[in-house]
Structure 1
Amino acid sequence: MNTRLDSGPVLFTITMVLAIVIQFPALRSQETRPYDTCNLPIRCGNVEFGYPFWGLNRPDYCGHPSFQLTCESNDPMLVLDSVPYRILDIESSSYTITVARNDLWSNLCPQFLHNTTYNSTLFNGNFDQENVYLFYGCQDIVPGASGAPVAADYRFTCTVNDTQIDNYFYRPGGFFPDIGNLLVECNNSISVPVNRSSVPLTVSDLRPALRDGFKLQWMVNNNVCDHCVQSNGRCGSNSTSPDGFACFCANGYFSRTCNNTGEIGGGK
C-alpha cells in the first residue's frame, strides 16, 4: 500500500521560508542607523565635508540646518542669506572654509544686488580681509576734481535693457576720497570681502580678487562635536530640535558624548 504525503504543510513551510529570505534584505536595509549614515562624508569635486554640513548623500540629521550643500558641476555650493557661494577650500582642523560669491564669479553684473552678509552666530569672518564696494547705476561723472585721467581704472559697465550703465568700484584708501558723494550719484551699491593680499588696485584686478574668495570660520558645536568624535560618536542634530546637537553612537544617541554618564541613550 502506497502512502501519499499531504502536500499542504510542506508547501506552506516552503512558502514561509521563501518569504523570509526575500524580505530579509529589505528588513536589513531598514536598520541603517544615524551612527552609520553620518559617518559618510559629502564628496563634491575634490573636496569632502562632514558635520555641520549635510546634503546629497548625507541626511539633514547629520548636520546643522544652515549648512546644506549642493554640488553643481563639481563645485560645492552653500547659500547664505539668499546668496550662493562656491566653497573653494575647507580646513576642517580650523573649522574654516574659503568661499567666493557665485553671482560675481563670471561677471560683475549680478541679476540681484545683495550685500555680503552672514549670520555672525554661525560664522566668524574676522580674518585678514577687507571690503571692496561696487556701485551700480552711476551718473556719467568722475568723482573728484582731479580724477579724470584714472577714472577708467575703477569703472566697469553692465548692460540693462540694451543700455550700458556705468558702475564703479571703491577700495579703502583708493582713488575716491568721498564715498558718501559717490553713493548719492549711484543707484545701488554692494560690499564684498576680499583677502587683504588680493585687494584690487584697478578694475582688471577686481575679478581675480573676487574669485580668490575670503575665509569664514564656522562656530557650530565645534567643541562638543570634537568630544563626540573622541568618544567614537558621529555628530548630528536632534530630531526634536534641529538646531540642537546629537551624538550618534553604536548603542543609541546622546546629547554630548557616547555613554554620557547619567544619560540614557536614545533609539538606535
Structure 2
Amino acid sequence: MIINFIHFPILLGADNEQYTNCSRSYPCTDILDIPYPFWGGDKPEYCGNPSFELNCQGEAPIITIDSRPYRVLSINNATFTLNVAREEFWNNNCPAELHNATLDATHFQYAPNTEDLMLYYGCRAIVTELPIPSRFNCSENQITDTFGTYMAANLPSGTQFTPNANCSNGVSVRVNQTAAAALADNASGNITQVLNSGFGLVWEANNTDCQRCVGSGGRCGTNSTVAGSFVCYCPDGNYSILCNSTKISSGRYPLILLVLFLKVVR
C-alpha cells in the first residue's frame, strides 16, 4: 500500500483567535484597560510590544525601562503618553540606593513639560550658593546631623555647585515641570508630593501603523515569528498593516492527509 501526503494550508476564517483575544479589555490593577503596545497580566504578549510589559501584581502597574522600575499612574492612548513615577522614590525621599535613570530612546522620550530635580544627600552644611534650598531628613548610616536638599536643574547662569564639597551623594530625578516650579517658589513645599505626582513619557511603538490598523477594523499586535515586527490582527486573518491588504501567514497549517493512490500488491 502506497500513501502520499500533501499539506494544504487552511485559511483562518472569521474566528481569528488572535484578533478575538486582542479585542478584549484587559485590566491591570487600577487601570481598567491597557491598550497596545502595553501587555501583561492576562493580556498576551502578542497583543502588545515586547518592550512594554507591565507587572500587574502590585497596587499599581510597573513598567521597567532600562532596568529601572516605574510606577504607571495613567496612560493616554490618544496622545501616546503615560505618566510615571520612579518606583524607588514612591513615598520615599531617601531610597537605599541612588540611580540616575536613563531611557530606552528607541521607544520613549521625556514629555516637554518635565525637568530634572537634583536631590543631594548627606549634606552637613547649608549650601548658600543654591537658590532657595530646602531640606528633607534622611538618616545616613545612623548619622543624624546630615540632611538632604533639592533644587531644579535649570540653574541661573553662573551657578556653581559641587555635591562632594557639601554633600556625600546626589541623584537626578525627572519630575513634572509645573510641580518643580511650585516647589522652587516655596522652600517649605512637599518634595514627596512632587515625586509622587510623576512625569510624562511619550512612547513610540508603530504608532502610525497601529492607528491605520485600528481604522481598518483591526487590532494591533506583534508578529513573534518575524523578530517582533508589527502585525494587524483582523477577523479573517493577520495583515502587515491594514485589514484586507497584505496578509501574513499564520504559520499554523493543519495536516490534511489525502490518499492519492492506493495499490494493493497481491
> Which structure 1 segments of 5+ residues have no match?
1-30
Would the aligned equivalents of 1:170 and 1:176 in 2 still touch at CA under 8 Å? Answer: no
1:158–1:267: structure 2 CA closer, same or farther, 3 Å change rule?
same
Q: CA RMSD in A?
A: 2.7
Would the aligned equivalents of 1:135 and 1:183 in 2 still touch at CA under 8 Å? Answer: no
Q: Which residue number corresponds to residue 69 of structure 1?
A: 54
By how many angstroms is 1:265 displaced?
4.0
Looking at structure 2, the residues matched to 158 and 241 of structure 1 have their Cα atoms a distance apart, in angstroms, of: 50
User: How many residue pairs were aligned?
Assistant: 232
Greater length-normalized contact order (CA 8 Å, ≥ 6 residues apart) = 2
By how many angstroms is 1:56 displaced?
0.6
By how many angstroms is 1:183 displaced?
4.4
Would the aligned equivalents of 1:123 and 1:216 in 2 still touch at CA under 8 Å? Answer: yes
Name the % identity.
35
Residue 57 of structure 1 aligns to a residue in which SS? coil
Which among 102, 118, 125 is matched to residue 141 of structure 1?
125
Looking at structure 2, the residues matched to 240 and 163 of structure 1 have their Cα atoms a distance apart, in angstroms, of: 56
Would the aligned equivalents of 1:39 and 1:234 in 2 still touch at CA under 8 Å? Answer: yes
Q: Which residue number corresponds to residue 79 of structure 1?
A: 64
Q: Which residue number corresponds to residue 217 of structure 1?
A: 202
Q: Which residue number corresponds to residue 37 of structure 2?
A: 52
Q: Which residue number corresponds to residue 174 of structure 2?
A: 193
Would the aligned equivalents of 1:53 and 1:69 in 2 still touch at CA under 8 Å? Answer: yes
By how many angstroms is 1:198 displaced?
0.8
TM-score, scaled relative to structure 2: 0.76
Would the aligned equivalents of 1:134 and 1:189 in 2 still touch at CA under 8 Å? Answer: yes
Residue 33 of structure 2 aligns to a residue in which SS? strand
Would the aligned equivalents of 1:253 and 1:267 in 2 still touch at CA under 8 Å? Answer: no
Q: Which residue number corresponds to residue 35 of structure 1?
A: 19
Looking at structure 2, the residues matched to 266 and 72 of structure 1 have their Cα atoms a distance apart, in angstroms, of: 32
Would the aligned equivalents of 2:116 and 2:152 in 1 still touch at CA under 8 Å? Answer: yes
By how many angstroms is 1:98 displaced?
1.0
Structure showing greater Rg:
1
Looking at structure 2, the residues matched to 179 and 114 of structure 1 have their Cα atoms a distance apart, in angstroms, of: 22
Would the aligned equivalents of 2:16 and 2:234 in 1 still touch at CA under 8 Å? Answer: no
By how many angstroms is 1:172 displaced?
3.9
